[in-house]
Structure formats: structure tokens, C-alpha cells
């Protein structure tokens, strides 16, 4: 019985042991099952995603403050600074410091608000916000204001107002070449012009300061600080010349004022041998130091009135106005070139042998051209009569050029146009270049199907658009031996150690016409100024060549849907023509019809370019040359003759093609009119005072506008003034004064020289 009982106990114990093992096994399995995800999670956190979570931890424990890098400096070709980074400071508050120091927050807010021109209530709110220890009040504060804030802190022993260094772009020349240089935005990134095109070279590398932080972004005691120094960007040296740029803009603005030009002007100066841009301007411009402000006062007033009426419409109009003033029209805006394009047509025809200098044409004022439905009119309604090739260009005869295009043929015409680069971008190193809009080849070549309208209109620059830079580059190829160049405006990029990072050299794309054809075209372009429609571009002592242009603006309509016949008048000038070096384009967009002055390139744009040439050629080292007996056209700087005998003074004056008259009975010159250093015309008379007192009464400058040469000379002589003749030198009743260097009514000393600009107000095209 006992034996049977022990067996039962053994069986029971054995069953319990198996159950315990099963329970243990399940427990182990469950434990493993529960632990595996933990292990996997730990692996994910500590191994596979270590970098990610380390970075997050670092961000939670540290504050990183960016240190803005100084952008590289932009220089002109003579190392004048056009754009540079200047030191400024960010003003920020530490609310915890302000609280701990028991600072008078309302008083601080009032003081900072007055200095920084901010709302004190906004500053006070930031000063009391304890969620952050860095509350930016204003960034990029100038040194003058920053110094006043620093003095205020020191005088009052304030803890919690801080200043940190930053940099800001400065443009010392203001509006000069603003669309070319561009500007940087609030992030110190180039947004327009060279600042944008060369941003990767200019921007440098930003630095940073890393410090540890605790709760509420409070700095931790005994924390570490790591400083990564910023690296200044590379410097740029431009082909631009600030003096040439200033001369171009000055004369363009004078033309805008003189002819009441409604839509501004654009122009440029380029070296025809290298493609270097010496000047490029679009008026009106803006000041890149305040690039968000509207520079034109009339536009600004209109916008202000609009803001009071409809803010949404105002914001849209404001954006459009900003884009307009930032726009570089020389690169981005296509326009109808008009007769300036005839230079390319004639060069192509002569180079291909389609015409010679002896080819004859006849202009009756209008003609039915084969393959053209509409009657073609010349700008001169009475016609030019019989003429040969040189006269066709001098007269800018549309009918002659239509026949030149027919002789050239559509295939050759289009081929030359392509080779002149009219259908492609120039590749200039600036953003925003477009390529204009030229005819499809089929329209020009397949005259059997499409007629000759596109071919003939294209020959004299109508019904298509190209950009100013395209036209200037193409005409430069006509006069420089036939070589099409790639224009450029940055000549060199230099790093902080003075090493050259990038250097641009003249790039010849292809030869378009022969050197012989180029020489012939130089002679013809010179004759346009000496004998043709561009006499108003004459500059004494310089050989100027070029071509006038007057074109209607395409697709301009008024509010009633009627086509508006607004015009762009232009002139492309080249000098010196015996060895062409510089090309100047000026275009005036929509001169007013209310001035009473005939609207044409010859009347308005040619004298403007002539004035630019007169300013820049002496500066650029181009010497004046005069033919024998042409002393009246020379300009002479009067020497200091005091202390000389009358004979000595007379001899010196004679050598400079000047005459003299003595006043008094002394033995030496004690005074003279004009004064030493004055610039006068050759053959002028100098008054030598021999012991007599010089007159001290001032002279009132008369209004010379509208006078011819003789009338102006008589008026000046009668007042003891000298005149310096500029522009058209023809002795014609139509050649009158259009501008004077000293305004009418000004009081000047006797012997003062007044520069008078003469132009033929009847010149056309």
C-alpha cells in the first residue's frame, strides 16, 4: 500500500516538474520576445541612427550663431570701389539678464525705439519674453547708431542689451551703373547684376559660434565655445570705367531733360577690339543702397496714392515698379533697331559682292517693291533721287536698302545675319540676357511663298527686335576687321591672397566679313557723320563714324486699342575711324512731341553720342588731330601770361592759333581775359592787360538756345564771353544751339567760356 502511494507521489512530482519546465520555457520565450524589440530599438538608436540623434542632442544642448562672411569687393578697371562690405551690428536683447538686473524695460524700449526707429511696444514685448535669451531687435545697424547704443549701455550700466558684428553691402557710387552692379538681398545674397552673376565667387564662407545652453535657452555656466571663422569672398575687377560710365549717364540724362523723353534711355560703351564693356546704363535707375525704394519721384507718388486706395493693387504695382527699375535694358529688352541695322545689311552686301561702291539706286520717295504688297515709303517723302552706295547709307534711304536686300537675296542675307550673332545671345557674363526676336528663316529665304516683305523690312531694321548688346557687338564686328567678339564685363577674379582665380580674355567667335570690307565700311560710316544724317555727332579734332536710327515701338496700344506711334531714336557711333577702338550706343525711348523738336536719331541721339565722345575720348587718351587751317575747330587751354612782355605773350598765343589785343600802356602783362586754364576755340582773341585793372563786374549769361553760329558769336562777344562750339559745325540756318553748359541768367566773370551744343534740327532718320 505504501509502495503504491510512493509511486503516485513520484508521478505527481514528475508531472509538476514537467509543468514547471514548460512554464519556465514559456517565460524565457516571452522574456526573449519582449527583450528583442528593446535590443533592436537600442541598436537603432545607438548604431544605425547614431549620427542623427547625436545631432539632435547637440542641437538641444547648443546654440549656433552665424557669423556673416564679408563679400568680395567689386572694383572698376581703375580699382575704384563699386561695391564693398562694411561693418554693421545686430542689436539683440537677453530678457533673463534684463530681469535679473532689474532693468527699466519701458525706458529701454523707448530709447531703443527712438534710436532704431522702431515701435517701443514691440521692443518691450521682446524684452519681457523669457522663453528665449536671444531676442533680435534689429539687424545691420550702422556704426553711428551702434555707437550711440553702446554709449547708452555703458552710461547706464545696463545688462541685457547686446551688439554682435555683422556686415552689409555698400555702394559708394549710388545710382551709377546700378543695373550692372546689382545688389544683395536681406540674406546678403546677390540678387541682380554682377552681384547675382558672380555670387558664388563673391559670397565667401559664413562662420559660426557654438555655445552650450540649458533650459529656456539659458547659457550654461562653464560652457564651452567653438568659433569657426568666416572667409571673405573673392574680389572682382571689372572692365567698367566709372569716369566713362558717369559721362555716358550725364549726357543721357541731359538728353532726357532736353527732349522730354518719356520712358528713359539706355546706352553703352564697348571696346570694339576686345569686347570689354566700359559703360552700360539704363535710365532711370535706382540706388542699390536702398534697392527697395522707388527712385523715380513721379512713380513713387503714384504708388503712394494707390496705397491709400487699394493695398492689394498697390503691392502688385510696387513689385512691378521695382522690377522695372532693376531691369538692365541693354541685355534684356528687345527693340526695333531701325536704320542702325542698315550697317549690317550694307556690310553683308559689299562682302558678298552683291553690290559695289558704284552700284546705282534711285529713290522717288515711294515704290512698289516686287513681292511686297504694300507701297514702300522712304522717310524722305520727296525722295533722294539718283544715288550710289555711299549716298544710300549717308541718306539712310529705305528704298535703296530694299533693293540691296533683293540683290543680296534671302539666303545670303539670313546667313550673314546669323554670322553677325543677331539670332543668338552674346554670352556676356551677366544674368538676364535675351536674344531678341528675328524672322523665321523661311520667311526671309522662301520669297516665292512668303514674298519679300520680311526680307526688305529686315534690311532697314523694321518689324523685328534685337537687344542693344546684340546690335553693338554686331556693328563692332563691322569696324574691327570683321571679327565677332564675346562681350564681357568682369576681367579678373582675385582671392584674398591676391591670386588670380579667373581671368577673362578677348574671345573671337568667328570672322564675319573680310578686313577689306571692314575698312570700306569704316570709310562709309565716317561719311555718314561728315556728309550724311549724323552731322550732329561731329566732335572737333576727332574722326567719328556711325549710323542714326528712328523706329516705331512695336505693339504699343492706348487704352482705346489704338496703335501708338511712339518712337525710339538712336545712334551708334565709333571712334577714331582711322583705327576704331570705341563704340557708343545711345537710345532715347519716346521723346515728347510737345517740345517742337523734330523726333529723329539724327536730331536727338547723334548729338548725345557726340557729347559722350567729346567727354570720353580725351580721357581715354585718343589724341585730337586737326587739318591745316582748321584752327577754329581746335580747343586751346589758355596759358598764364602774366609777367611776360606783350611780344612774348603774342608769340606764345600765335603758336596756339590765338590772337591778342592789349589794354593799357605797361611793359608787362599784369592780367588777362580769359583767365589761365580756360578752354577756348582756336583763332579766339585774348585780352592782355598792361597795368590796367581787370573788370570786376559780372556778366549775365544769355539764352543761346535757338541761335545759329553767327548769332551766338555776336551775343557772346558783346558780353565779353567766349563760346566753345560742339556738335554740328555746318554754317547753316538750320544748325542752331540746342544746349549750353552754363544756364541762362547765371552771373559769370568776363572771359568765361560757354560750351554750346549745335545741331541741325531738321536732320532726319
Domain with residue 752: its CATH number is: 3.30.10.20
462 and 560 share one domain: yes
* Spatial distance between the Cα atoms of 111 and 122, rounded to a whole number of angstroms: 13
pLDDT at 415 over 60: yes
- Residue 556 pLDDT: 58
Rounded mean pLDDT, 513-527: 98
> Picking from 40-44, 331-335, 384-388, 737-741, which range would have the lowest pLDDT averaged per residue?
40-44
C-alpha 171/C-alpha 542 separation (Å) is 35
- Which three cell numbers, joined as nine digits, stand for 197? 552673376
Confidence check: pLDDT of 236 > 90: yes
Check whether residue 655 and residue 708 sit in a common domain: yes
Query: Predicted confidence band at 725 (pLDDT cuts at 50, 70, 90)?
Result: confident
Residue 655 included in any domain: yes
Given this model, what pLDDT does residue 221 score?
47
Cα separations (Å) of 158 from 98, 113, 124, 425? 8, 16, 15, 60
What integer pLDDT is reported at residue 677 of this predicted model?
87
Does 581 fall in a domain? yes
| Domain contains 318 | no
- The confidence score (pLDDT) of residue 753 equals 87
Query: Distance between CA 732 and CA 734 in Å, rounded?
Result: 5
Give me the pLDDT at residue 428, please: 97
Boundary (domain end) residue, out of 619, 652, 686 = 619
39 and 121 housed in the same domain: no
Evaluate the CA torsion angle 507, 511, 512, 517 in order and state its sign.
positive
State whether 429 and 489 are in the same domain: yes
Q: Which residue has the higher pLDDT, 122 or 523?
A: 523
Query: Do 596 and 664 belong to one domain?
Result: no
Strands (E), 641-681: 659-664, 671-673, 679-681
How many Cα neighbours within 13 Å face the side chain of 18?
A: 6
Same domain, 524 and 608: yes
Cα–chain-centroid distance for residue 748? 36
53: confidence class by pLDDT, cuts 50, 70, 90: low
Mean pLDDT of 589-594: 92
Note the pLDDT of residue 49.
67
d(CA 137, CA 145): 13
Question: What total of structural domains would you count in the chain?
Answer: 4
Residue 161 falls inside a structural domain: yes
Domain C-terminal end among 619, 648, 671: 619
**747 shares its domain with 722:** yes
227 with 209: CB under 8 angstroms? yes
Does residue 252 sit within a domain? no
Domain holding 192, by residue range, is 64-204+211-233
Q: Band of the pLDDT at 224, cuts 50, 70, 90? A: very low
Read off the pLDDT of residues 432-475 as tens digits, 9 standing for 90 and up.
999 889 999 999 999 999 999 999 999 999 999 999 999 999 99
Is 234 a residue whose pLDDT tops 50? Answer: yes
C-alpha–C-alpha distance, residues 219 and 754, integer Å: 71
Inside any domain, residue 442: yes
Does one domain contain both 17 and 29?
Answer: yes
Same domain, yes or no: 598 and 655: no
Region of 568 on the Ramachandran plot (φ > 0 left; ψ -120 to 50 alpha; else beta): beta
Asked whether residue 13 carries a pLDDT value surpassing 90, the answer given is no
In a domain, residue 244? The reply is no
Q: Are residues 98 and 47 in the same domain?
A: no
Q: How far is Cα 477 from Cα 421, in angstroms, rounded to an integer?
A: 10
Name the domain boundary from 16, 44, 61.
61
Looking at the structure, tell me whether residues 547 and 563 fall in a common domain. Answer: yes
Give residue 23's pLDDT band: very low, low, confident or very high (50, 70, 90). Answer: confident
- The pLDDT of residue 212: 60
Q: Is 421 helix (H, G, I), strand (E, B) or coil?
A: coil
What pLDDT was estimated at residue 16?
62
CA 379, CA 397: separation in Å to the nearest integer? 7
Q: Is 545 within 8 Å of 518 (Cβ atoms)? A: no
Rounded-to-integer distance, Cα 337 and Cα 553, Å: 10
* Cα distance from N-terminal residue to C-terminal residue, the chain: 142
pLDDT for 111 beyond 90: no
Residue 222 has pLDDT above 50, yes or no: no
286 has pLDDT over 50: yes
What is the model's pLDDT at position 391?
A: 96
Instruction: Please check whether residue 241 lies inside any domain of the structure.
Output: no
Mean pLDDT of 206-232: 58
CATH of the domain at 94: 3.90.1310.10
The enclosing domain of 505 has a CATH number of: 3.40.710.10
The answer to whether residues 574 and 642 belong to one domain is no
pLDDT at 386 over 90: yes
Q: What is the mean pLDDT of residues 363-386?
A: 91
pLDDT of residue 60: 62
Q: Give me the mean pLDDT over the 131-152 stretch.
A: 85
Amino acid at each position: 500500500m505504501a509502495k503504491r502511494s510512493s509511486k503516485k507521489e513520484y508521478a505527481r512530482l514528475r508531472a509538476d516538474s514537467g509543468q514547471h519546465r514548460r512554464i519556465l520555457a514559456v517565460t524565457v520565450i516571452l522574456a526573449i520576445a519582449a527583450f528583442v524589440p528593446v535590443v533592436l530599438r537600442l541598436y537603432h538608436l545607438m548604431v544605425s541612427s547614431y549620427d542623427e540623434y547625436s545631432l539632435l542632442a547637440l542641437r538641444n544642448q547648443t546654440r549656433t550663431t552665424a557669423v556673416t562672411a564679408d563679400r568680395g569687393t567689386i572694383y572698376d578697371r581703375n580699382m575704384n570701389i563699386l561695391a564693398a562690405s562694411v561693418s554693421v551690428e545686430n542689436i539683440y536683447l537677453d530678457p533673463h539678464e534684463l530681469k535679473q538686473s532689474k532693468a527699466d524695460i519701458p525706458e529701454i524700449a523707448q530709447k531703443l525705439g527712438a534710436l532704431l526707429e522702431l515701435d517701443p511696444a514691440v521692443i518691450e514685448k521682446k524684452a519681457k519674453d523669457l522663453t528665449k535669451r536671444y531676442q533680435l531687435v534689429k539687424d545691420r545697424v550702422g556704426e553711428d547708431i551702434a555707437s550711440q547704443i553702446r554709449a547708452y549701455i555703458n552710461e547706464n550700466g545696463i545688462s541685457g542689451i547686446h551688439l554682435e558684428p555683422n556686415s552689409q553691402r555698400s555702394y559708394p557710387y549710388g545710382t551709377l551703373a546700378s543695373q550692372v552692379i546689382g545688389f544683395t538681398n536681406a540674406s546678403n545674397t546677390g540678387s541682380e547684376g554682377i552681384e547675382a552673376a558672380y555670387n558664388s565667387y563673391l559670397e565667401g564662407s559664413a562662420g559660426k559660434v557654438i555655445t552650450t545652453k540649458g533650459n529656456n535657452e539659458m547659457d550654461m555656466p562653464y560652457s564651452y565655445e567653438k568659433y569657426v571663422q568666416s572667409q571673405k569672398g573673392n574680389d572682382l575687377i571689372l572692365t567698367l570705367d566709372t569716369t566713362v560710365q558717369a559721362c555716358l549717364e550725364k549726357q543721357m540724362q541731359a538728353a532726357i531733360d532736353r527732349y522730354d523723353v518719356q520712358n528713359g534711355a539706355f546706352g553703352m560703351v564697348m571696346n570694339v577690339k576686345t569686347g570689354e564693356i566700359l559703360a552700360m546704363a539704363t535710365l532711370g535707375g535706382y540706388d542699390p543702397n536702398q534697392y527697395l525704394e522707388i527712385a523715380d519721384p513721379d512713380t513713387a507718388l503714384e504708388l503712394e496714392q494707390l496705397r491709400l486706395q487699394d493695398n492689394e493693387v498697390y503691392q502688385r504695382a510696387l513689385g512691378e515698379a521695382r522690377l522695372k527699375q532693376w531691369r538692365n535694358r541693354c541685355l534684356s529688352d528687345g527693340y526695333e533697331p531701325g536704320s542702325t541695322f542698315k550697317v549690317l545689311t550694307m556690310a553683308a552686301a559689299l562682302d558678298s559682292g552683291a553690290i559695289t561702291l558704284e552700284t546705282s539706286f534711285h529713290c522717288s520717295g515711294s515704290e512698289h517693291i516686287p513681292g511686297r504688297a504694300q507701297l514702300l515709303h522712304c522717310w524722305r517723302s520727296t525722295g533722294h533721287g539718283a544715288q550710289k552706295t555711299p549716298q544710300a547709307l549717308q541718306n539712310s534711304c529705305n528704298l535703296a536698302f530694299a533693293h540691296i536686300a533683293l540683290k543680296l537675296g534671302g539666303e545670303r542675307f539670313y546667313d550673314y545675319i546669323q554670322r553677325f550673332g543677331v539670332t543668338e545671345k552674346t554670352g556676356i557674363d551677366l544674368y538676364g540676357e535675351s536674344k531678341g526676336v528675328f524672322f523665321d528663316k523661311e520667311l526671309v529665304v522662301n520669297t516665292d511663298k512668303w514674298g519679300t516683305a520680311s526680307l526688305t523690312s529686315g534690311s532697314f531694321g523694321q518689324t523685328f527686335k534685337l537687344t542693344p548688346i546684340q546690335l553693338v557687338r554686331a556693328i563692332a564686328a563691322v569696324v574691327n576687321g570683321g571679327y565677332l567678339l564675346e562681350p564681357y564685363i568682369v576681367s579678373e577674379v582675385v582671392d584674398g591672397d591676391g591670386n588670380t582665380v579667373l581671368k577673362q580674355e578677348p574671345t573671337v567667335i568667328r570672322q564675319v566679313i573680310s578686313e577689306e570690307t571692314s575698312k570700306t565700311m569704316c570709310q562709309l560710316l565716317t561719311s555718314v557723320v561728315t556728309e550724311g544724317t549724323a552731322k550732329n555727332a561731329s566732335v572737333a579734332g576727332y574722326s567719328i563714324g556711325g549710323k542714326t536710327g528712328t523706329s516705331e515701338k512695336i505693339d504699343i496700344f492706348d487704352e482705346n486699342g489704338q496703335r501708338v506711334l511712339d518712337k525710339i531714336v538712336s545712334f551708334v557711333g565709333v571712334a577714331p575711324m582711322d583705327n576704331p577702338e570705341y563704340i557708343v550706343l545711345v537710345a532715347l525711348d519716346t521723346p515728347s512731341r510737345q517740345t517742337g523738336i523734330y523726333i529723329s536719331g539724327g536730331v536727338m541721339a547723334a548729338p548725345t553720342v557726340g557729347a559722350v565722345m567729346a567727354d570720353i575720348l580725351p580721357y581715354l587718351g585718343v589724341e585730337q588731330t586737326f587739318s591745316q587751317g582748321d584752327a577754329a575747330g581746335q580747343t586751346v587751354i589758355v596759358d598764364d601770361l602774366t609777367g611776360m612782355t606783350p611780344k612774348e605773350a603774342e608769340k606764345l598765343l600765335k603758336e596756339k592759333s590765338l590772337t591778342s589785343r592789349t589794354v593799357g600802356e605797361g611793359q608787362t602783362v599784369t592780367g588777362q581775359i580769359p583767365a589761365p586754364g580756360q578752354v577756348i576755340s582756336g583763332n579766339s582773341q585774348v585780352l592782355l592787360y598792361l597795368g590796367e585793372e581787370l573788370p570786376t563786374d559780372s556778366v549775365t549769361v544769355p539764352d543761346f538756345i535757338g541761335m545759329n553760329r553767327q548769332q551766338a558769336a555776336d551775343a557772346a562777344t558783346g558780353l565779353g564771353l567766349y563760346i566753345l562750339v560742339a556738335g554740328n559745325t555746318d554754317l547753316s540756318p538750320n544748325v542752331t544751339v540746342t544746349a549750353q553748359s552754363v544756364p541762362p541768367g547765371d552771373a559769370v566773370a568776363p572771359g568765361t567760356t560757354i560750351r554750346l551744343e549745335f545741331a541741325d534740327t531738321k536732320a532726319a532718320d
